């Protein structure tokens, strides 16, 4: 990659940041399309976030990703938010257009694209979503209008109920929020056609943790786990064992990264190139943090 005075800079900010896969993903995409862009990572502490955003604006950084712990706090330093980012109060992608900063959240878009590209039927189905954190909220917002009904289970039941109430009012669909427990998961899975785990349960190194027993799964359902380290979580292995359709967390990762790329570059992302580098990195032993692109 040859840099010049015309090279556009993109980056990711967070703390910690050493684990991020984003430079690998985006630099591979830039190189493949022969774009004069470069992508780097910056560690930004909580107390330095405002100054960092001012610096991005002043230096003309073209775009940046935002990971933990800044995805919520950064919203107050941006000029405009897209509908998803505004709804959940969380941003993972920023575009700088002539000093005006636009915030987006591509988590939900990534999940929707991953399901559709893997031929998961959404229309007419009940979706069971585990979790109500930042990624789960974005997924719920994006998928609520696609499915017949949505049930959200979260350890903090009140958080799930609040999210469900807001979504029900916005989309006019049947949306229910309940406390996550073994009995509630078992009961709600009985008539669910799609299961999405949007928690960190099963992530490396706690790979044997589960929220769903294998015997509750069915061959006529689809199961997606947004955890991608390991690539094959216990939930994914169990779903495959019963003959269910599975969607790996790496699929959501590649499509949310592709969505960021397309916001910045205004052209289709080289998805296969990005998928290949992600799989190579994850199989190589990287241990990414939840919510990181």
pLDDT band per the 50, 70, 90 thresholds, residue 1: low
Is 212 a domain residue?
yes
Predicted pLDDT at 282: 77
CATH code for the domain of 119: 3.40.50.720
71 is catalytic: yes
Region of residue 291 (phi > 0: left; psi between -120 and 50: alpha; otherwise: beta): left
Is 291 a domain residue?
no
Distance CA 151, CA 157 (A): 12
Is 289 a domain residue?
no
Is 227 a domain residue?
yes
Q: Which of 71, 126, 161, 245 is catalytic?
A: 71
CATH code for the domain of 277: 3.40.50.10860
Instruction: Looking at the structure, tell me whether residues 274 and 163 fall in a common domain.
Output: no
Predicted pLDDT at 149: 97
How many structural domains comprise the chain?
Answer: 2
Is 51 a domain residue?
yes
- The pTM is what? 0.89
Domain boundaries, position 233 = 108-247
Long-range CB pairs of 179-188 (<8 Å, 24+ gap) are 179/153, 179/154, 179/155, 180/130, 180/131, 180/153, 180/154, 180/155, 180/211, 181/153, 182/213, 184/153, 185/128, 185/130, 185/153, 185/211, 185/212, 185/216, 186/213, 186/216, 188/128, 188/151, 188/153
Cβ(90)–Cβ(134) under 8 Å?
yes
The residue behind tokens 């560690």 is 43
Is 293 a domain residue?
no
Instruction: Looking at the structure, tell me whether residues 184 and 267 fall in a common domain.
Output: no
Apex CA 91: angle with CA 158 and CA 164, to 5°? Answer: 25
Instruction: Looking at the structure, tell me whether residues 43 and 96 fall in a common domain.
Output: yes
Is 1 a domain residue?
no
Instruction: Looking at the structure, tell me whether residues 256 and 219 fall in a common domain.
Output: no
Instruction: Looking at the structure, tell me whether residues 49 and 125 fall in a common domain.
Output: no
Instruction: Looking at the structure, tell me whether residues 118 and 82 fall in a common domain.
Output: no
pLDDT in tens, 231-252: 899 999 999 999 999 999 999 9
Instruction: Looking at the structure, tell me whether residues 185 and 269 fall in a common domain.
Output: no
Instruction: Looking at the structure, tell me whether residues 236 and 113 fall in a common domain.
Output: yes
Instruction: Looking at the structure, tell me whether residues 116 and 202 fall in a common domain.
Output: yes
Distance of CA 116 to the CA centre of its chain: 15
Instruction: Looking at the structure, tell me whether residues 45 and 161 fall in a common domain.
Output: no
Is 263 a domain residue?
yes
pLDDT band per the 50, 70, 90 thresholds, residue 293: low
pLDDT at 283 over 50: yes
Strand (E) or helix (H) holding 135: helix 134-143
Instruction: Looking at the structure, tell me whether residues 90 and 135 fall in a common domain.
Output: no
Instruction: Looking at the structure, tell me whether residues 147 and 116 fall in a common domain.
Output: yes
pLDDT in tens, 169-220: 999 999 999 999 999 999 999 999 999 999 999 988 899 999 999 999 999 9
């Amino acid at each position: 990659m040859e840099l010049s005075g015309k090279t556009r800079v993109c980056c990711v900010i967070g703390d910690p940041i050493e684990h991020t896969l984003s430079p690998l993903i985006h630099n591979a995409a830039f190189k493949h399309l022969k774009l004069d862009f470069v992508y780097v990572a910056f560690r930004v502490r909580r107390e330095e976030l405002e100054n960092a955003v001012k610096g991005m604006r002043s230096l003309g950084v073209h775009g940046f990703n935002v990971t933990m712990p800044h995805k919520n706090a950064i919203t107050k330093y941006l000029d405009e938010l897209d509908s998803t980012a505004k709804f959940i109060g969380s941003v993972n992608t920023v575009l700088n257009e002539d000093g005006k900063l636009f915030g987006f959240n591509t988590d939900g878009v990534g999940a929707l694209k991953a399901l559709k590209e893997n031929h998961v039927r959404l229309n007419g189905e009940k979706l069971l979503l585990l979790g109500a954190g930042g990624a789960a909220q974005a997924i719920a917002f994006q998928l609520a209008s696609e499915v017949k009904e949505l049930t959200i289970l979260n350890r903090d039941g009140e958080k799930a109920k609040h999210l469900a109430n807001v979504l029900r009012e916005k989309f006019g669909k049947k949306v229910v929020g309940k406390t996550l427990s073994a009995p509630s998961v078992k009961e709600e899975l009985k008539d669910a056609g799609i299961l999405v785990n949007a928690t960190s349960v099963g992530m490396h190194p706690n790979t044997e943790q589960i929220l769903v027993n294998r015997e509750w799964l069915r061959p006529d359902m689809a199961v997606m786990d947004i955890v991608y380290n390991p690539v094959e979580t216990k939930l994914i292995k169990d779903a495959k064992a019963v003959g269910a359709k599975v969607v790996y967390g790496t699929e959501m990762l590649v499509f949310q990264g592709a969505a960021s790329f397309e916001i910045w570059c205004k052209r289709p992302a080289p998805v296969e190139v990005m998928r290949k580098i992600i799989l190579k990195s994850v199989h190589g032993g990287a241990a990414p943090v939840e919510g990181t692109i």
